[in-house]
Amino acid sequence: MRDTIPVTILSGSLGAGKTTLLNHLLTEAGDRDIAVLVNDMGTVNVDAELIAEGSELDVDDGVAELSNGCICCELQDDLETAVVRLANDRDFDALVVESSGISEPAPVARLFTTESRVAALYRVDTLVTVLDTRLFLDAFAGETPERRGAGTTDGDADEADAGGGDPAAADGDRPLSDLMVEQVELSNLVVLNKADLCSDAELDEAEELVGALQPDAETVRTTFSQVDPDRLFDRGLFNPDKIADLPGWKRALAEDGHSHGNATHEEDGHDHHHPEEVYGVTSFTYRRRRPFHPERLAEALRDLPASVVRSKGTVWLAGTDCRVVVGQAGPSIRAEAQGPWIASLPDIERDMYRSNRPDLDWHDEHGDRRTELVFIGTDYDEDGLRSALDDALVTDEEWGDGDPSTGPFPAEQGEETVIRSP
């Protein structure tokens, strides 16, 4: 039986330079035989045509084409069929999957790592994100990112025009900043493209921001997506079982959590991290065992300064028994109600969950109810943020008077709301 085929998964926002990178890789492949699977957000797969033209390949020869959707959701079955067909019909050394500019790489990677006929043929080698570096910096300097179209210095209008619409509106009005952050957080290698539009100092700052979001991601600075193929193939950078693959906010929780045990966390004040502080990029974790008043928490979150690049975590919200996950990326803040707190379940279910999770952080009075939020940013006022969040907690009187409504936050499992938009 032949060895599994390594897969490089390529993501990045529209116009960042993914298609340019693919054409470059095909041109400079050398002795490697590369199969490419491309997906476009439009009804016509423009990227497949552009790659075929740029690499002197026919669309039916080495490029499997998907259209009318996103390969990480409604076209998941088509993706599985396509990659299995490629492996059965052709011999090649590596597969590159280019996801749409409005897609996250995680669901694509999951297809290749779960027990399936795909996982029997392939293995994920590297997750790569291509950034328009200027756009990335602008998105986290308090400015609303705008789509770059034809005429960009780096010649990447191929992607900017592929979708036929605003990328932020293509995924349920989801802001581009959300996707950029999540694509970086799930990367092993980040291509800082269009470097010619940035100063050396700005490129240094972009590298540090990437490092705060995903501490173990490699970075490479490029113009016209000119990356040495050896940086993207046969690297073995992807390992789903390593903490090194966790994004910065999740790793902060994992590294801090073991030291707190069953403490109340009411007085936590110094659980912060200091990466290389050339640009003052730091992170801290806010933990409390008291619920938030929904309206005051929403106000505190809306007042987050532009210097907070990323925040994410679980909040204990008065008015609901659901865990509410809050995610902020630049100017965008969204909240989603997930499953119930274990402490809110009937006694039999609660005891069963606890017996199956002996390491569960459990408080004698509040059970697993708690807030854990990680904040990552540059030159923010940590004490001021902590104070604003503390002021948003329910008072003793409010706690005793019953729970208020959830306000702008979701109340039922599976619901999602926008707390702040660009």
Q: How much is the pLDDT for 330? A: 82
Nearest to 121 by CA among 77, 83, 163, 68: 83
DSSP letter at 394 equals: P
Q: How much is the pLDDT for 280? A: 59
pTM over 0.75: no
Helix or strand run (H / E) with residue 184: helix 176-185
Tens digits of per-residue pLDDT, 374-392? 898 877 899 999 999 999 9
Q: How much is the pLDDT for 72? A: 45
Q: Are 144 and 25 in contact (CB under 8 A)?
A: no
Q: How much is the pLDDT for 174? A: 56
Q: How much is the pLDDT for 59? A: 41
Helix or strand run (H / E) with residue 264: none
DSSP letter at 63 equals: E
Q: How much is the pLDDT for 40? A: 54
Distance (Å, rounded) from C-alpha 15 to C-alpha 17? 6
Distance (Å, rounded) from C-alpha 367 to C-alpha 351? 11
Tens digits of per-residue pLDDT, 233-281? 999 998 766 544 566 666 666 665 543 333 334 444 445 444 444 445 7
Q: How much is the pLDDT for 244? A: 47
Q: How many residues does the structure list for the chain?
A: 422
Q: How much is the pLDDT for 362? A: 92
Give 323's Cβ-side CA count (13 Å radius): 17
Q: How much is the pLDDT for 120? A: 85
Amino acid of residue 76: Q
Phi, psi at 174, each rounded to 5°: -75, 130
Q: How much is the pLDDT for 408? A: 94
Q: How much is the pLDDT for 245? A: 59
Distance (Å, rounded) from C-alpha 354 to C-alpha 345? 11
Distance (Å, rounded) from C-alpha 86 to C-alpha 1? 17
**Count of CB atoms situated within 10 Å of the CB of 254:** 11
- Token pair listed for 121: 């043929």
Q: How much is the pLDDT for 85? A: 81
Q: How much is the pLDDT for 192? A: 96
How far CA 15 is from CA of 148, 204, 207, 279, in Å, comes to: 6, 22, 20, 27
Q: Are 246 and 254 in contact (CB under 8 A)?
A: yes
Q: Are 117 and 82 in contact (CB under 8 A)?
A: no
Q: How much is the pLDDT for 275? A: 42
Which residue ranges of the chain lie beneath pLDDT 50? 1, 41-46, 52-61, 65, 67-74, 142-172, 243-244, 258-270, 272-279
Greatest alpha-carbon span in the chain: 72
All structural domains of the chain: 5-244 (3.40.50.300), 247-420 (3.30.1220.10)
Tens digits of per-residue pLDDT, 12-56? 887 888 888 988 888 888 888 888 887 654 433 445 555 544 444
Q: How much is the pLDDT for 323? A: 94
Q: How much is the pLDDT for 378? A: 77
